[in-house]
Structure formats: C-alpha cells, structure tokens
Amino acid sequence: MANNYPLMPKATASWLVDNTALTFDQIAEFCNLHPLEVQALADGEVNTGIMGMSPILAGELTADEIARCEKNTNARLKMLKSDLPKPRARSKGPRYTPVTKRAEKPNAIFYLLKKYPDLADVQIARLVGSTKPTVEAVRSKTHPTQSMLKPIDPISIGLCTADELDKAVKKAERRVAREAAVAARKSGAADTSISAVAIEEQDEGDSAPQESVSSF
C-alpha cells in the first residue's frame, strides 16, 4: 500500500517552512501534522535539531506542484505518484558530528553570538547541532568552559554549510525587522494618544469660564 504522506513528515515540514511560501495549513495537511505543530517548527520551539528534507529530492513533490499551491492558499499539495521505491534523500549538512569536533560546538556558538547577534538561540542550536540551554549558557557566560572559549566559524569545521547559515541569518533579519515595525507602530500609537490628551486638556483650558474683572 502506497504511503500517502512523506517518509519523514517533520523534516519535510521543516524544509517546506524554510523554502516555500506555503501556508501552515497546506504544509500540515500534506505532512499529516497539526497546523500548530508546523507553526512550532517554524518558530523553532520544537525539534530544534531537526534537519529539513526536500520532498522534491525525495520524489514526493515537484517544484511545479509547490508553485501551484503557493499561488492559491486553498489548493492542497498532491503527493507525486511513482511505482519506484522512494529514495531516502539526505539533505545537505552534517548528520553525525565526530567526537573530535563535538568539543568545538561551544566555540562555534561563541562565534555565531559575536558575529550574528540577531540569530535566535534555537537557530544557533540547530546550526551547530547543539541545544538551546547550551547556547543560553554561552550567551550568559555561565558555560563550564566559558573562560577557554574562542570563536570558531562553524562552516570551517563542518558543523553547518554556508547556505544553511545564510538562510538562518536572513530569517533572523526578517524577524528583527518585523519586531521593529511592531514596536514602531506601538510607539506611534502611544505618541498619538499622548498628543490627543494634550490637545483635549488644552481645549478644556481654553473653554473654561473667564472671571470678569470690574473696574472701579
């Protein structure tokens, strides 16, 4: 019996979130996940170490099918039918970190924190294959080896690829821009409110009855 869902649903959903303009509902239905699970993947709240897997390379979707559904949010992705066994496509990037390189992860985290301050902890953890608590410890300077840390580019030691880092940085920049826009709108609304109160108080002062002064 043919499988109607991707071989690796969460890895596929993660790839679709990062590489397409599909809605969470579209991705959730195709991957047999709840939309909230997809949103949590997008926000980095769950499965921080998961590596995305392309359904195109896996023979589960075509680029044309993705493009069709990107243009219509009501459209639903259709699994590519094939009589051949599905290849277990491996997405680019490290799957196993040699013991000799594991000790370098805190150094790579230290580098990313200094070089790309906009990156979220979950993004850094995903890039180097570490955990959010470890990133938080390095950021707060409470890591056991903090005094011995030295910044090392994770690309140079094979913990992530340049493409993965570039995508993460651009995603972080978009998040920061959104947060700045929201803050600006809130600030503008507050300024408008203060101005309105000032004008109202001034109007009330202007309309107050004037005491008549009699001349003797």
194 pLDDT above the threshold of 70? no
- Matching residue, tokens 């008549």: 212
Is the pLDDT higher at 26 or at 47? 26
16-25: pLDDT as tens digits: 988 999 999 9
Mean pLDDT to the nearest integer, 89-95: 47
Q: What is the pLDDT of residues 40-86, one digit of tens each?
A: 887 776 655 677 888 998 888 999 999 999 999 999 999 887 554 54
Q: What is the pLDDT of residue 80?
A: 84
Q: Residue 104: pLDDT band by 50, 70, 90 thresholds?
A: confident
DSSP per-residue string spanning 111-148: HHHHH-TTS-HHHHHHHHT--HHHHHHHHTT--TTGGG
Select from 121, 116, 133 the least CA-distant residue to 173: 116
Answer whether residue 2 shows pLDDT above 90.
no
Judge contact between 127 and 168, C-beta under 8 A. Answer: yes
- pLDDT higher at 145 or 97: 145
Residue-level pLDDT at 112: 93
Residue 173 CB partners (closer than 8 Å, separation 6+): 118
Q: What is the average per-residue pLDDT within 3-22?
A: 86
The rounded mean pLDDT for the chain is 79
Locate 105 and state its tokens: 């992860």
Distances (CA, A) of 123 to 41, 58, 59, 78: 11, 25, 28, 30
For the cut 70, the answer to whether the pLDDT of residue 91 exceeds it is no
Give per-residue pLDDT as tens, 179-193. 888 888 887 766 655
pLDDT of residue 18: 86
**pLDDT digits over 130-172, tens only?**
888 999 999 999 988 888 889 988 888 888 888 898 999 999 8
Identify the band that residue 216 occupies on the pLDDT scale cut at 50, 70 and 90: very low
